[in-house]
Amino acid sequence: MHNAEQNHTLPTNLSSGIPEIKSTEFWRLGDRLVRRIGFGTKRLAGSDGGGADVQEKAIQLLRLAVELGVNHLDTADFYPTYGTPGNSRSFEPLDWANDVIFRALSPYADDLVIATKVGPTATGLARPDDLPGLVEANLRALGRDSLDLVYLRQAGLDSIAEHFGVLAELRSKGLIRHLGLSNVRIEHLAQAQEIAPVVAVQNRYSVDFGRVNDGTVQACGDQGIAFVPFFTLTADSREAGGVKQPEVIGQIADEHGATPAQIRLAWTLSRGDNVLAIPGTSNPRHLQENLAAGSIRLSPAQLDALDALPQS
């Protein structure tokens, strides 16, 4: 488990002024250095929306995460969410994660990277001309003059050029520092890169779900782009939450004295130094267990056994 020390200084490449990475514990999001296990705010409310004191508990959990060394938060203005019973693809948005981040952590530490996403709305994918307003709403709620990283979360587009172009323009105005893509195909990455640099891609991916994205993980690694998977713990349960527990994962967890969630995270980190994890939870114990997963090293035989899992 990471301790609360906040010294993240690494040697610097004098020609670029950007820190050189000397440890697989870190990866670079543009010019920002983050630990490879961060924290996602999607599950801050728990699995059922939580009770009246849920926001205060969320504030305490976020402060604990930062005390334990987390310096990469993943959020959205419609987070946290909880699953709709009987439908793994549907969720209810609660719309208070950004406000709680501000209340918990402002004024922000210099090394804290807050990544957010725009695109989804209550009526479907935002139009390109909606995106400036969505970015401004994130800026207000988070109390920032500039957003560290904004993902375009697309759905159903053949070309993302028009949407991404709007975000690139906002980046040129200083409202956004770095750009990312979410829920995309390889061709979308190429389209975006013709417009502006992409520092991160965020797609569904886990040991037994979303392996259609193996090629995207590899392409990102080859280009030095962070790959930030979602549904790593829930797999095909998606919005329903929980941790999928095939028998082989349970067996390997027993061999390490670990939890199934930790084994899923350890496998995720094994996919490449550019792969980051953003497990979310509303439980302080689970938070600490998730961060401790970074110390687990899976053997070649264990990796082979996990890679052989049926895919969904």
Residue 87: beta bridge partners?
Answer: 84
| Tens digits of residue pLDDT in 154-191 | 999 999 999 999 999 999 999 999 999 999 999 999 99
| Tens digits of residue pLDDT in 48-104 | 777 779 999 999 999 999 999 999 999 999 999 988 777 788 889 999 999 999 999
Q: Is residue 15 situated within a structural domain?
A: no
Higher pLDDT, 294 or 22: 294
Average pLDDT over residues 198-211: 97
Give the 3-state secondary structure of the chain.
CCCCCCCCCCCECCCCCCECCCCCCEEEECCEEEECECEECCCCCCCCCCCCCHHHHHHHHHHHHHHCCCCEEECCCCCCEEEECCEEEEEEECCCHHHHHHHHHCCCCCCCEEEEEECEECCEECCHHHHHHHHHHHHHHHCCCCEEEEEEECCCCCCCHHHHHHHHHHHHCCCEEEEEEECCCHHHHHHHHCCCCCCEEECECECCECHHHHHHHHHHHHHCCEECCECCCCHHHHHHCCCCCCHHHHHHHHHHCCCHHHHHHHHHHHCCCCECECCECCCHHHHHHHHHHHHCCCCHHHHHHHHCCCCC
Residue 22: the pLDDT is 40
Q: Is residue 166 situated within a structural domain?
A: yes
Give yes or no for residue 266 having a pLDDT over 90. Answer: yes
Sign of CA dihedral 198, 278, 207, 291: positive
Q: Is residue 1 situated within a structural domain?
A: no
Residue 113: the pLDDT is 98
Give yes or no for residue 9 having a pLDDT over 50. Answer: no
Q: Is residue 87 situated within a structural domain?
A: yes
| Tens digits of residue pLDDT in 16-60 | 344 344 457 999 999 999 999 999 999 999 877 777 799 999 999
The domain spanning residue 170 has which CATH number? 3.20.20.100
Q: Is residue 104 situated within a structural domain?
A: yes
**Does 108 participate in catalysis according to the annotation?**
no
Query: Would you say 226 and 199 are in contact if contact means Cβ atoms under 8 Å apart?
Result: yes
Residue 90: the pLDDT is 86
Average pLDDT over residues 244-272: 96
Structurally, the chain folds into a number of domains equal to 1
Residue 89: the pLDDT is 83
Residue in 236, 221, 232, 225 with CA at minimum distance from that of residue 268: 232
Give yes or no for residue 195 having a pLDDT over 70. Answer: yes
Q: Is residue 175 situated within a structural domain?
A: yes
Give yes or no for residue 129 having a pLDDT over 90. Answer: yes
Residue in 166, 91, 164, 177 with CA at minimum distance from that of residue 133: 166
The catalytically annotated residue of 79, 82, 151, 205 is: 79
Higher pLDDT, 304 or 23: 304
Residue 1: the pLDDT is 33
Per-residue b or e along 132-168, where b marks 16 or more CB atoms closer than 10 Å to that residue's CB:
bebbeebbebbebeebbbbbbbbeebeebbebbbbbb
Q: Is residue 18 situated within a structural domain?
A: no
Look over the chain and give the mean of its residue pLDDT values, rounded to a whole number.
91
Give yes or no for residue 282 having a pLDDT over 90. Answer: yes
Report the range of poorest mean pLDDT among 117-126, 237-246, 297-306. 237-246
Q: What pTM, to 2 d.p., does this model score?
A: 0.91
Residue 128: the pLDDT is 98
Structural domain containing residue 162:
33-307
Q: Is residue 21 situated within a structural domain?
A: no
pLDDT band for position 264 (50/70/90)? very high
Residue 51: the pLDDT is 72
Residue 10: the pLDDT is 37
Residue 88: the pLDDT is 84
pLDDT band for position 300 (50/70/90)? very high
Give yes or no for residue 6 having a pLDDT over 80. Answer: no
